């Protein structure tokens, strides 16, 4: 048994495996398949200050080795979360993180402030990278100024661990990472989905209600890995890596490229118990390779 515990700022994870927002519901949807307490943590669905209905159907299209979605942050709003969902999450012996989204820095800050009051939520992940809503999300994540403005506003209102989730739909993800680090982010997570499209040629129509969507799954994995590797060299704060992770080997690639922890997203749809297999697999790999502490492989890529 290798030592798998890691820290993200003040947040202690019993192992580096978390689940990605929007792909794991509120955790309890997976309770029949997963011992949630064994996870390093799970990140619940994107939450906004006010309720959102999300985009119209169809919201999903399958692609080669992945899928596109344009869910558009459907959620019942932060107050509903605090009142009705949070009480169902407090007894888990793992880190439950909330993914926070908004359409203005003030929105983000107000939402973060409400979550800050919840004792059993030790950290938030700030989603400045949702490609599926017009009025915000990614709009902030694609410029250094936009990203900085949101992080600045939230940092004032939120004093627990703040992870900022970066968009890959940018020219230089390292510039954005440096900008949010400068505003006091405790960590960055990457990547959110890559903006994409799919067409039904018989109907001459996009397969998605709003035309475009966010690509996820194994097909984005090499792009995500490259970005984690670049960002790891650009910032001093911890990195949470994600994008197409399906196996322990995939997760270890991210750790070697400099991620301190990982998130598993779309793979939960293929195998709802995948997270348990990844945790066991990391353990087995470490044992087989004489790795006693997971830190020995974090950022341990040879030149």
Partner 1 sequence: MKKYVSRLPIVGKTFLRADYVVLALHVEANLLREIRPGQFVQLKAEHTSSVFLRRPISIHFVDVEREQMWLLIHIIGEGTEALAQCEVGQTLDCLFPLGNGFTMPAQAGRQMLLIGGGVGLAPMLGYGAALAAQGHTVTFLLGGRRDVDILQYDEFCKYGEVCITTEYGSMGERGFVTQHTVLAQRRFDHIAACGPKPMMVAVARYAAAHDIDCEVSLENMMACGLGACLCCVEHTVKGNVCVCTEGPVFNIKQLNWQL
Ligand X SMILES: Cc1cc2nc3c(=O)[nH]c(=O)nc-3n(C[C@H](O)[C@H](O)[C@H](O)COP(=O)(O)O)c2cc1C
Q: Show Cβ contacts of residue 82 under 8 Å, excluding neighbours closer than 6 positions.
A: 114, 115, 117, 118
CB of 226 to ligand X, least distance (A): 14
Closest CA to 279 of 94, 101, 72: 94
Shorter beta-carbon distance to partner 1: residue 24 or 229: 24
94 vs 127, which CB is nearer to ligand X?
Answer: 127
Instruction: Give me the catalytic one of 70, 111, 130, 219.
Output: 130
Q: Which is nearer to ligand X, 7 or 63 (CB)?
A: 63
- Which candidate, 242, 246, 275, 241, places its Cα nearest to that of 258? 241
Q: Which of partner 1, ligand X, none does residue 185 bind (CB under 5 to 8 Å by kind)?
A: none
111 is catalytic: no
Least distance from partner 1 to the Cβ atom of residue 60, Å: 4
Give the closest residue to 31 by CA, choosing from 84, 94, 123. Answer: 94
DSSP type of residue 293: B
Q: Which is nearer to ligand X, 128 or 298 (CB)?
A: 128
The partner in contact with residue 268, picked from ligand X, partner 1, none with C-beta cut-offs of 5 to 8 angstroms by kind, is partner 1
Other Cβ atoms within 10 Å of 139 Cβ, number:
19
- The rounded distance, in Å, linking the Cα atoms of 209 and 70 is 8
Q: Could you list the residues that contact ligand X (CB under 6 A)?
A: 20-23, 45-46, 69, 71, 73, 99, 127, 130, 165, 192-193, 216-217, 220, 242-245, 264-267
Instruction: List, by residue number, the catalytic residues.
Output: 130
């Amino acid at each position: 048994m290798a030592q798998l515990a890691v820290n993200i700022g003040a947040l202690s994870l019993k192992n580096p495996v978390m689940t990605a927002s929007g792909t794991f519901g509120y955790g309890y949807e997976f309770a029949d398949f997963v011992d949630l307490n064994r996870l390093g943590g799970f990140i619940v669905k994107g939450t906004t200050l006010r309720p959102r209905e999300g985009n119209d159907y169809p919201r999903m299209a399958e692609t080669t080795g992945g899928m596109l979605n344009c869910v558009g942050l459907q959620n019942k709003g932060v107050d509903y979360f605090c009142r009705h969902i949070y009480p169902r999450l407090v007894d888990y012996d793992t880190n439950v993180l909330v993914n926070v989204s908004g359409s203005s820095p003030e929105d983000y800050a107000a939402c973060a402030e409400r979550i800050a009051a919840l004792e059993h939520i030790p950290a938030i992940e700030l989603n400045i990278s949702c490609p599926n809503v017009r009025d915000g999300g990614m709009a902030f994540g694609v410029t250094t100024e936009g990203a900085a403005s949101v992080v600045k506003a939230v940092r004032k209102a939120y004093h627990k661990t703040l992870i900022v989730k970066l968009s890959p739909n940018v020219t230089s993800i390292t510039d954005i990472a440096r900008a949010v680090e400068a505003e006091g982010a405790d960590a960055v997570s990457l990547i959110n989905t890559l903006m994409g499209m799919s067409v039904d040629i018989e109907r001459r129509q996009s397969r998605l209600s709003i035309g475009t969507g966010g690509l996820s799954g194994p097909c984005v994995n090499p792009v995500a890995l490259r970005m984690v590797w670049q960002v790891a060299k650009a910032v001093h704060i911890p990195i949470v890596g994600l994008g197409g992770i399906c196996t322990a080997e995939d997760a270890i690639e991210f750790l070697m490229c400099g991620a301190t922890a990982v998130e598993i997203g779309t793979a939960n749809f293929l195998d709802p118990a995948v997270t348990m297999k990844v945790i066991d697999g990391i353990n087995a790999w470490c044992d087989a390779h004489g790795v006693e502490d997971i830190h020995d492989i974090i950022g341990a890529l040879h030149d």
